[in-house]
Structure 1
Amino acid sequence: MKELPIDSVLPELADVLHKGRNAVLVAAPGAGKTTRVPLALLDAPWLGGQRILMLEPRRIAARSAARFMAASLGEKPGETVGYRVRMDTKVGPKTRIEVVTEGVLTRMLQEDQALEGVGAVIFDEFHERHLQGDLGLALSLQSQGLLRDDLRLLVMSATIEAEPVAALLGGAPVIVSEGRAYPVDTRYVGIRALERIEEACARTVAEAIRLDEGDVLVFLPGAGEIRRVHTLLSAAGLPPHVRIMPLYGSLPAEAQDRAVAAAEPGERKIVLSTSIAESSVTVKGVRIVVDCGLSRVPRFSARTGMSRLTTVPVSVASADQRRGRAGREGNGVCYRLWTEEQHRILKPQSTPEIREADMAPLALELAAWGVADPAELHWLDAPPAAAYGQAVTLLVELGALHPAQPDKPTAHGRAMAELGMHPRLAHMILRAEPLGLGAAACELAALLSDRDPLRSRNIDVRLRLEAMRGKRVAAEADEAALRRLQAEAAVWRRELGIRDAGSDRDIDLCGVLLALAYPDRIGKRRGDGRFLLSGGRGGAISELQPLSAAPYLVAAEMTDAGTDGEIRLAAPITTEQLDEYCAPLIREETEVAWDKSAQAVRARRRVRLGALTLQEGPAQNPDSALVMQELFEGLRQQGLDLLPWTKPARQLQARVELMRRHNPEWPDVSDEGLTATLAEWLAPYAAGMRGKNDLGRLNMTSIVEGLLSWSERQQLDREVPTHLTVPSGSRIPVDYSDPEAPSLPVRLQELFGLAETPRIAGGKLPITLHLLSPAQRPVQVTRDLASFWRDAYFEVKKDLKGRYPKHYWPDNPLEAMPTNRTKPRT
């Protein structure tokens, strides 16, 4: 067997794992860690004949590593070495090394938390920091700590910072293998002005084919860019012996294997790849790398509750991994479509997926594991609290977690977790099966888990389902993608025992199925292709198409930019379907509220689905207690002037308030006091009332009197009378509008013979006298009548006598006879 750089550290690694439980192995690209380490540990005494699980982040890498190791033993996959990836398993009864992908490891742990029969778990290419990889390591550490103190854990990577990982593994030893990489000439070529990334890429590839030897590996962000570069290169006049081959995760396994295999003799190949070829996978014959410097990664928005794929610049570590692909088999060259200045501002490492991914799958896995709080486990990066809390809320809404105990999975939640797909899609399939829609749900789940197989502007999901069933032939369809989706849907149907093959009825119920998966994305049209979603967000269809006019739809895919995210995939749903299939989401509510403009309580019945109002109208017989509560709220908002206060009622209120100023034990009948105690004094009179018109029937004088005891009424009449009798015999009402200074408007002549100012409140408060002329015009205001007679009367007399000569103006007012006439009676 050919010697590889990793071989020199294998004895040290074996010794470390013999003496301890955990280790970190840092090995440069090309060192051989992926295929040599599992085989080197196979006969370790501590393994005791148990199996080794090796986690590979990508399916193509898992299959490739297993095949290589099996071949080195002279075997086929499924004998000593096997693999388990989604939709493809090669494992037999004698298998000792299983190469598995991240989701498969999580399922194995959930099915057997102790991992009986497994002696070691190896996490390869851990620097990629996928969410499922972090979860697998966290669960394995807890299993090791609580159930399996003999379990070995080994983390391997080429570019990861080893110290934090070693600390997470309890201070595990770090072993370093320098590897053996051939020199790679790095050329920063940049992008020309007004040149698209695909055009720059195709131009650079064509130049590299002409100038350099070997096959070309091109890194692009996604399948769309790969297709566009493929088209440009096909038209570029390349030599006939150059073959162009795509490589991305959703390609069929056979196509992926052809892309990574060595070129046929006499041929050269150009492999157009996503970041799938960044690590683990060796593309045979590559001496040239063309790197566009971009990567497409999932980003979850806690603000909107939605994930999206975002194109971001690669990190320095990823760029170095990509460049290293050119130096695996000989001297190479790497063309970078950015400048050295741009390179200096790249991030050192990629952001771990756990910081920015949808937490719903993680929250469901932790609940199934039995963890109430992510803090119970050990993480390199803990799940973000806001996104995790939002995920728990979604799982409760989907019925996966108990509402009263959101850390406990329901039976439905456990069934969802066992499916190993996103909780939304798992819920959709499980709920669709009893409705006879299981086959269509599996097809939609496959469709929504992968890239769009139709290159069409029409966002209707039904078109995709028809294409998957062969009912629609579209020039824009990707036939290979459709076949792959059909195969994946068939696997899920087989695993769930679903026998129905689907029907035309399913097509019409696409919106119902999407509503099961996305109850927060049911949209109601509000004009111009814009929709309000049940989750409270807005959504919009960017250009006019049939779904723009749909009264209701369900958005399966949309962006989260701006106020209204762009809807990318959707299906219509009718009000009848909402009533029939989404009844658990619909609630009827009666809203009772004060209408300020109408100055009355209004009661409306609404049928709602989340933020959507499906029906609305006046409510019949609303709760009388709620009506009264809102009536009182209206009085608090708009003030007690809404009540039918008469002048006598206000006078009574002022008299009681005056008494309270001198004795705090009296009731507080001020507007402030009455407002604070509305429910206590007004409720007995307000039954059946809704607004100002009804309140107009109230007798406020009687109501205020009702707040006083019999003795208080007697005292009030005695000490704060409504009227005072003056010397002329007239009974004149007292004005209490100013509680600080009650006043008595009285003609001057009616007070002749009165020496002192009248007092009320048991003699504590002098009345403010508003002295009037015979024509009832103001003459003087005083609270000291004796002083007025002594100091001011004679001046006033002169003035009044001149204006009213027929009236009686005595020289001595204290001895004169009072009169309410022109002259006193004789």
Structure 2
Amino acid sequence: MQLPIDPHLPEIATLLEKNQNVLVQSSPGSGKTTRIPPFLVSKYKKILVIEPRRIAAIYAASRIADESKWELGKEVGYEVRFDSKSSPSTSILFLTEALLAKKIISNPELKGIDLIIFDEFHERSYWTDLSIGHIKELQILGSNIQLLFLSATVDKEPLQVFFENLGMIDIELPRFPIEVIYQRKPLRYSWNGEFESNFVSALHELIQKGKKQILVFLPGLKEIRNAGRVLESDAKFRGFQIEVLHGSIPLAIQKAIVANSNNYEQRIILSTNIAESSLTISGVTAVLDSGLHRDASYNAEYEVAQLSTKKISYFSSVQRQGRANRLGPGICFKMWSELDERSMEKAPVSDIKKSSLYELGLQLIDMGHWPLSQFTWFEKPSDAILNDWQQVYIDSGLCVDKKLTRFGQLSLDLNLSYENTIFAVLAHCYYSIEKVSVLIAILESELSSSDTSRVSHSTLLDAHEDYRRGRLGGSGDTAKRSAQIIAGLQRRGPTENRQDTWKQDCDQLFQLDEQKKFLNTLESYKKSDSVLDLILSFSYLNRVCKRRKQERGFSNRAITTKGKEVQIGDPQKANLLPQQEYFLNFHTIIDATQTARCFNFHFLDAETFNAAVRPFAKLVSRVEFVDSKQQFYKVTELVIKKLSIETLSTEPLASNELKGKTQDIFTNDMDNLLFTLPSLSEFLNRVNLINQHQDQKIEISWPEVIEQEIAKGLTLKNRLEWNFEIEDYLSYENQKLLKALVPKELLLKDLNRSFRIQYPSNEAPLIEARLQHFLGLATHPTILNNKIKLKIVLLGPHGRPIQITNDLPGFWKSSYPEIRKEMKGRYPKHAWPEDPASFKN
């Protein structure tokens, strides 16, 4: 069967003959994934193809084997987590991104590999950033290894900057025509009555158009369950088989759904973005796209991955649309308006900008990269973020003298979190290797779930017993993960006297006096069931939380060791919680209201707390201002990081005793100050931008600032109304630097107009104004000596966003003509010139 990419295969091969690195950009469904690797196999002995998802790697390898009449696992194969089919003679090997990074560790020079193809490069994770950074260093040193990047939607500029002389080919090859239907109503961000009504109406319309197999994109499992409930209750859908594609579904079932192994004639597939790219789902010729996805980003304050429902990017919408016309003419119904689409971000935020870098940093240090900032980054995190992670490794004993310690190496080798590495070391001294591996696998699965369940000493052992008897849900993946952990644990020492080997590890890893005392305490409990409680508490010491007191007992709100408040589980079930003050918080979710809720928790009895937690508390003193008494106090207490577990004394302080102690006052109130003073927050964000991108840093002496303001008569009582100009406390040189590189306003001389620049936290700086205000501007505005492009939010005459862009010249050429056509009739009194870049007011 001829695919659109086929006539272009010789041209792609020629590009690779002339260039070490090549980018192929072509339409979804053109055949890039399954046709390019087998065409090139005669020129390259070993080709690796990197896929962002397991199901995509398996599907593509299987498809190539079928089309080429090859044996899967011989000429072509795959390796993914928990599954593999390959042999030493395999010429084309499909891998997930993390497995390529592991291969780099075992084979740093990538000997025997000629070409690496990164499929769906726009979806890359930080593991791909590591891989291409390492490979570029190999190329600089003379390696002949080649890279081929494939994507239907990718921003070319970063690749062109990173790889000089990048070969490129752009092929617009829609395989079959597609009809796009936009919803007339605006996009809805959550499942409510209106969303449900729009969803059902859209499906009815697709069915009326004769579509029998429909792929539906929804943000997450909650919405999938809601959709399933609605479809089952509507008589119009009774002839349809309802299927679910989600990462939690066993891989064998995912493969069966993609291939339609049951030969259903009518089906509706409810999916997350797992089906967004690389897959041709048998029989599907219609897509219903909610326009939403569940986005995971690392929240450093709570040290958790924060899940939130967000609007997809324009590139993602193109990918989803492309699932409809891979097998024939298709239809894509978009649950948003054309106006909504113009305000979409062009591309999704890259993984490296929003993820925890814990494992990636360990991997780089193990490869000899210290400081982390000196690695050849494709998209470099800020020096401040990299330095913070380096400090985490040092403080945690994972790294000493720029190298991983035995503890750090163990965490990396076993692919375990910091907490579970400690758990593995200690638990192995008292339990069998099989039991330890299963306990960790259960802990990992519990930690990644969002069920309101309690992981405790009894339920953890009960879960192990259920697993042993085959009654544990998801036991297949638990068995595979535990087998991986066993393999890692077995590398730690000889088969005989293995527990003695791990006890030696404990002695070497835990050198502090309080740690040694705890090991002795643990030994005294070795014949008691409490030993597991103690090991959990010691391992997860940073996850200790203290509940707030109320009139009767304790509330369902608690404080973490970071000093942040969390809510325990479901508020409606608060009365079912045991009356214990402390617990371990295994899993936190930040909900849509920005409330932190902890799920999967383990309460600590007094004996466990005193034996495993209290010995590690530090004695500190701080200054506190009590509003009700209008008085400063010196508070002496025992703390674990920022969590006070016991107040030992509280003494009034005279005003003349305050000097030098105001840093505490400011720090303790920082969250309130930033919330109530946007100007302070924006100032700090401007300073951070300079410190991230300039060699010259700006340092602020907060004690000096606060003490001088107090001397002027500023009181702590009205501290949330402070509005002083902090810039006045900077040196003259730093004030000039701030105004020149990150100004509050941007003057565009071409337009003779100024724009206020907004500096939101964790987002790109932006300017927002009506589209007409930018007419005549031919270049995109920047700050920081052209290092950072400003995000431009273009408003229509109605005052609502009609486009968000980081490329104004590109916008004038691409999207503007369509906007002009639509808006000119509705707002004829406004300027809508044909050539906006050269327009003269």
TM range (shorter): 0.5 to 0.7
- Is 1:23 equivalent to 2:50 in the alignment? no
Counterpart of 1:168 in structure 2 is 162
The within-5 A match list for 1:95-244 is 95-146=90-141, 149-189=143-183, 190=185, 195=193, 197=195, 200-238=198-236, 241-244=239-242
- Is 1:72 equivalent to 2:103 in the alignment? no
What does the per-residue CA deviation read over 1:154-195, in whole Å, with 9 as the maximum and x for residues that have no partner? 111110022321331222111223233212111123479952
Q: Is the 8 A contact 2:534 2:611 kept in 1?
A: no
Q: Secondary structure at the match of 1:396?
A: helix
Counterpart of 1:676 in structure 2 is none
Cα–Cα, structure 1 residues 450 and 603, in superposed 2: closer, same or farther, change >3 Å? closer
Q: Secondary structure at the match of 1:379?
A: coil
Deviation at 1:557, TM superposition (A): 1.6
Cα–Cα, structure 1 residues 142 and 317, in superposed 2: closer, same or farther, change >3 Å? same
Counterpart of 1:556 in structure 2 is 586
Paired residues, number: 611
Cα–Cα, structure 1 residues 215 and 227, in superposed 2: closer, same or farther, change >3 Å? same
- Is 1:257 equivalent to 2:255 in the alignment? yes
Q: Is the 8 A contact 1:417 1:423 kept in 2?
A: no
| AA matched with 2:325 | G
Aligned counterpart for 1:323 among listed residues 313, 321, 339: 321
Aligned counterpart for 2:600 among listed residues 553, 563, 569: 569
Q: Secondary structure at the match of 1:285?
A: coil
Counterpart of 1:342 in structure 2 is 340
| AA matched with 1:484 | D
Q: Is the 8 A contact 2:216 2:270 kept in 1?
A: yes
**Gaps in structure 2 of 5+ consecutive residues:** 499-525, 550-554, 662-841
Query: Could you tell me how far apart the structure 1 residues matched to 2:266 and 2:227 are?
Result: 17
Which structure ranks higher in relative contact order (CA pairs < 8 Å, sequence separation ≥ 6)? 2
Q: Is the 8 A contact 1:416 1:430 kept in 2?
A: no
Q: Is the 8 A contact 2:231 2:237 kept in 1?
A: no
Q: Secondary structure at the match of 1:338?
A: coil
The within-5 A match list for 1:698-717 is none
Counterpart of 2:781 in structure 1 is none
Deviation at 1:320, TM superposition (A): 1.1
Counterpart of 2:9 in structure 1 is 10
Cα–Cα, structure 1 residues 449 and 590, in superposed 2: closer, same or farther, change >3 Å? closer
Q: Is the 8 A contact 1:9 1:175 kept in 2?
A: no
Counterpart of 1:39 in structure 2 is 38
- Is 1:420 equivalent to 2:415 in the alignment? yes
Deviation at 1:388, TM superposition (A): 3.3
Q: Is the 8 A contact 1:305 1:390 kept in 2?
A: no
Counterpart of 1:492 in structure 2 is 485
Cα–Cα, structure 1 residues 298 and 443, in superposed 2: closer, same or farther, change >3 Å? farther
- Is 1:538 equivalent to 2:571 in the alignment? no
Deviation at 1:589, TM superposition (A): 3.3
| AA matched with 2:193 | E
TM-score in terms of structure 2 length? 0.65
Deviation at 1:462, TM superposition (A): 6.1
Deviation at 1:62, TM superposition (A): 0.7
Aligned counterpart for 1:85 among listed residues 80, 84, 88: 80
Deviation at 1:344, TM superposition (A): 1.9
Query: Could you tell me how far apart the structure 2 residues matched to 1:478 and 1:214 are?
Result: 37
Deviation at 1:536, TM superposition (A): 2.5
The within-5 A match list for 1:503-514 is none
Cα–Cα, structure 1 residues 582 and 462, in superposed 2: closer, same or farther, change >3 Å? closer
Counterpart of 1:395 in structure 2 is 393
Aligned counterpart for 1:311 among listed residues 309, 312, 327: 309
| AA matched with 1:52 | I
Query: Could you tell me how far apart the structure 1 residues matched to 2:281 and 2:136 are?
Result: 34
Q: Is the 8 A contact 1:52 1:119 kept in 2?
A: yes
Q: Secondary structure at the match of 1:35?
A: helix
Q: Secondary structure at the match of 1:549?
A: coil
The within-5 A match list for 1:644-659 is none
User: After the TM superposition, which of the residue ranges 424-433 and 62-71 deviates more from structure 2?
Assistant: 424-433
| AA matched with 2:161 | A
Deviation at 1:633, TM superposition (A): 8.8
Q: Secondary structure at the match of 1:415?
A: helix
Deviation at 1:513, TM superposition (A): 5.7
| AA matched with 1:485 | T
Q: Secondary structure at the match of 1:113?
A: coil
What does the per-residue CA deviation read over 1:54-107, in whole Å, with 9 as the maximum and x for residues that have no partner? 110000001111111222332332211111111112121211221110111111
Deviation at 1:255, TM superposition (A): 0.6
Deviation at 1:23, TM superposition (A): 1.1
The within-5 A match list for 1:795-806 is none
Deviation at 1:559, TM superposition (A): 3.5
CA RMSD of aligned residues (A): 4.0
Query: Could you tell me how far apart the structure 2 residues matched to 1:19 and 1:497 are?
Result: 47
Query: Could you tell me how far apart the structure 1 residues matched to 2:143 and 2:8 are?
Result: 25
Deviation at 1:446, TM superposition (A): 3.8
Deviation at 1:317, TM superposition (A): 0.8
Counterpart of 2:265 in structure 1 is 267
Deviation at 1:415, TM superposition (A): 2.1
Deviation at 1:305, TM superposition (A): 3.2
Q: Is the 8 A contact 1:359 1:387 kept in 2?
A: no
Query: Could you tell me how far apart the structure 1 residues matched to 2:146 and 2:123 are?
Result: 21
In percent, how many aligned pairs have the same letter?
27
User: After the TM superposition, which of the residue ranges 254-263 and 536-545 deviates more from structure 2?
Assistant: 536-545
Cα–Cα, structure 1 residues 367 and 319, in superposed 2: closer, same or farther, change >3 Å? same
| AA matched with 1:568 | F
Counterpart of 1:521 in structure 2 is 543
Q: Is the 8 A contact 2:546 2:559 kept in 1?
A: yes
Query: Could you tell me how far apart the structure 2 residues matched to 1:259 and 1:187 are?
Result: 26
Query: Could you tell me how far apart the structure 2 residues matched to 1:447 and 1:197 are?
Result: 36
Q: Is the 8 A contact 1:80 1:95 kept in 2?
A: yes
Query: Could you tell me how far apart the structure 2 residues matched to 1:229 and 1:211 are?
Result: 21
Query: Could you tell me how far apart the structure 2 residues matched to 1:30 and 1:603 are?
Result: 66
**Gaps in structure 1 of 5+ consecutive residues:** 620-626, 639-826
Query: Could you tell me how far apart the structure 1 residues matched to 2:642 and 2:354 are?
Result: 26
Deviation at 1:383, TM superposition (A): 1.6
Deviation at 1:197, TM superposition (A): 3.7
Cα–Cα, structure 1 residues 92 and 136, in superposed 2: closer, same or farther, change >3 Å? same
Cα–Cα, structure 1 residues 294 and 590, in superposed 2: closer, same or farther, change >3 Å? closer
